[in-house]
């Protein structure tokens, strides 16, 4: 092995180590910051972790929105027409938030099985359903209003 080969070998080794370190860091950062999506049924069956940042979603149940009179605190129920999940929120709700609309919320599940949302998303399009929610309903075999789809 002559000097040039040795130099190249060192460069390649340093490159590989640097790349591995960078890739490791990126994957670590990625794993720390992914938010898994759970349906109300998965939450009810205890699949979702408590006190970890996750996302949940479903249709806002009709008549479920309750506001506290003196603050912004609001609670509402999302459903996949099999199980329900109560969501607490204390910020301004998005424009398209309303009963019967599909929403996705990011936040943490508390000890009592209720969801503390830090962000609620409803899309700016009447026809738009969050893909997570429409997939979830499709798996349950119901449409957006909860009616069982015809086979």
Partner 1 sequence: MIPEIGHYALILSFCFSVALGVLPMYGVYRNNGLLIWLAKPLVAAQFLFIAISFGFLTWCFAVDDFSVSYVASNSNRALPMIYKVTAVWGAHEGSLLLWALILAGWAFAVSCFSRNLPDDIRAMVLSIMGLISVGFTLFLLHSSNPFLRLLPNFPADGNDLNPLLQDFGLIVHPPMLYAGYVGFSVAFSFAIAALLSGRLDASWARWSRPWTNIAWVFLTLGITLGSWWAYYELGWGGWWFWDPVENASFLPWLVGTALLHSLAVTEKRGAFKSWTVLLAISAFSLSLLGTFLVRSGILTSVHAFAVDPERGLYILVFLGVVIGSSLTIYAVRAPTVKSHAVFEFFSRETVLLFNNIILMVATATVLLGTFYPLIYEATTGGKISVGPPYFNLIFAPLILLIMPVMAIVPQILWKRSPTKDLIKKNIIPLVCGAAIAVAFWYSGDQEVAGGFDLRIGLAIVFAAWLFVSIVKDLADKIGLFSDLSAVPQKIRLLTPGYYGMILAHAGIAVCVIGVAMVSTYSVDKDLRMAPGDQVQLGDYQFEFKGLKKTPGPNYTALTAVILVTDESGKQWLMNPEKRQYPVRRNQMTEADIDPGFFRDLYLALGEPLTNGAWSVRIQVKPFVRWLWLGGLLMAFGGFVATLDRRYRMKGRGV
Alpha carbon separation from 29 to 63, 95, 132, 149 (Å, rounded): 41, 33, 24, 41
3-state per-residue secondary structure call for 51-96: CCEEEEEEEECCCCCEECCCCCCEEEEEECCCCEEEEEECCCCCCC
Give the angle 48-32-38 at the CA atoms, nearest 5°. 25
Of 13 and 92, nearer to partner 1 (C-beta) is 92
- Least Å distance, CB 3 to partner 1, is 17
Q: Using CA atoms, how far apart are residues 76 and 55, in angstroms rounded to an integer?
A: 16
Q: How far is the CB of 30 from partner 1 (least distance, A)?
A: 6
Nearer to partner 1, 19 or 148 (CB): 19
CB 77 to partner 1: min, Å: 18
Report, in Å, the least distance between residue 102 CB and partner 1. 12
> Which positions touch partner 1 (CB under 8 A)?
22, 26, 29-30, 32-37, 53, 55, 67, 69-72, 90-93, 95-96, 104, 106, 123-128, 130-132, 135
The smaller minimum CB distance to partner 1, of residues 44 and 93, is found at 93
Nearer to partner 1, 9 or 92 (CB): 92
Please state, in angstroms and rounded to a whole number, the distance separating the CA atoms of residues 121 and 97.
8
């Amino acid at each position: 092995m002559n000097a040039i080969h040795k130099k190249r070998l060192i460069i390649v080794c340093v490159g590989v180590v640097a790349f591995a370190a960078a890739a490791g860091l990126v994957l670590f950062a990625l794993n720390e910051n992914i938010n898994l999506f759970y349906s109300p049924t998965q939450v009810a069956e205890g699949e979702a972790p408590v006190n970890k940042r996750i996302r949940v979603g479903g249709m806002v149940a009709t008549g479920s929105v309750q506001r506290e009179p003196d603050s912004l605190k609001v609670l509402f129920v999302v459903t996949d027409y099999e199980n329900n999940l109560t969501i607490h929120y204390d910020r301004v709700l998005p424009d398209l938030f309303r009963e019967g609309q599909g929403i996705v919320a990011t936040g943490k599940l508390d000890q009592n099985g209720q969801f503390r949302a830090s962000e609620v998303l409803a899309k700016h399009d009447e026809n738009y359903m969050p893909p997570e929610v429409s997939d979830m309903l499709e798996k349950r075999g119901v449409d957006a209003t909860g009616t069982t789809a015809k086979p």
